[in-house]
Amino acid sequence: MKIAEIKELTVKELDARKRDLQHEIFNLRVQQQAGQLEKPHRLRSLRRDAARVSTLATAKRKTPQA
């Protein structure tokens, strides 16, 4: 997910996106423990996307609304 795409989202959309990413990360971890994970690099990219979304959500909450 590109940073430009993330910046266009609202705080509610960012929270929903983060929740979806965390759920997907959980599912991939379960697959990894079962030895069925085909693309291990996907875990890393999802964790980074979740961090980006979380960071921008926090920044948008702190910014005063005009």
Top pLDDT among 41 and 65 is at: 41
Top pLDDT among 46 and 2 is at: 46
Share of the chain above pLDDT 70, in %: 97
Distance from the Cα of residue 34 to its chain's centroid: 23
Section 11-39 average pLDDT: 96
Please determine, for residue 1, whether its predicted confidence score (pLDDT) is greater than 80. no
- Give the span between the Cα atoms of 29 and 27, in whole angstroms: 5
Share of the chain above pLDDT 90, in %: 89
Q: Do 1 and 42 touch, CB atoms closer than 8 A?
A: no
Q: Which long-range contacts (CB under 8 A, 24 or more apart) does 46-51 make?
A: 46/21, 49/1, 49/21, 50/18, 50/21, 50/22, 50/25
Section 29-51 average pLDDT: 96
- What domains does the chain contain, in order, with CATH numbers? 3-61 (1.10.287)
